[in-house]
Amino acid sequence: MAYRLFVGGLPFSTTSDDLEQLFAAHGTVASARVITDRETQRSKGFGFVEFENDEEGKAAEKALNGTELGGRTLTVNEARPQEDRPRRDNNGGGDGGSFRQKSW
């Protein structure tokens, strides 16, 4: 099981590759992803990093939490499990997404 870290306070110019390089100095990174806005593709200023090894992940968390990157202070801690969220209705309706097509 991978050790997953939440990384907040990222400069908006940080890419997923930058994030991976930053954490790779502390162990084997399984994945690194900066979260972006769906519409603008602009960074939201946070991301997630997964380590293959728990000890390496914990060491990276301890080493990088509170450090500065690009003039911003990083918040690094173990990621909480993702919560189930209700699905968004993109049709503009409020009935949970059911859509009936009229037959003419």
Q: Count of CB atoms within 10 A of residue 98's CB?
A: 8
How high is the pLDDT of residue 87? 72
Integer angstrom CA distances of residue 71 from 9, 10, 11, 44, 66: 10, 9, 8, 16, 12
How high is the pLDDT of residue 82? 76
- CATH number listed for the domain at residues 3-13+21-42+49-78: 3.30.70.330
Whole-prediction pTM = 0.78
Strand, helix or coil for residue 7: strand
The full set of domain ranges for the chain reads 3-13+21-42+49-78
**Residuewise pLDDT in 10s, the chain (104 residues):** 689 999 999 999 999 999 999 999 999 999 999 999 999 999 999 999 999 999 999 999 999 999 999 999 999 999 988 777 677 666 555 555 555 555 55
How high is the pLDDT of residue 19? 97
How high is the pLDDT of residue 93? 53
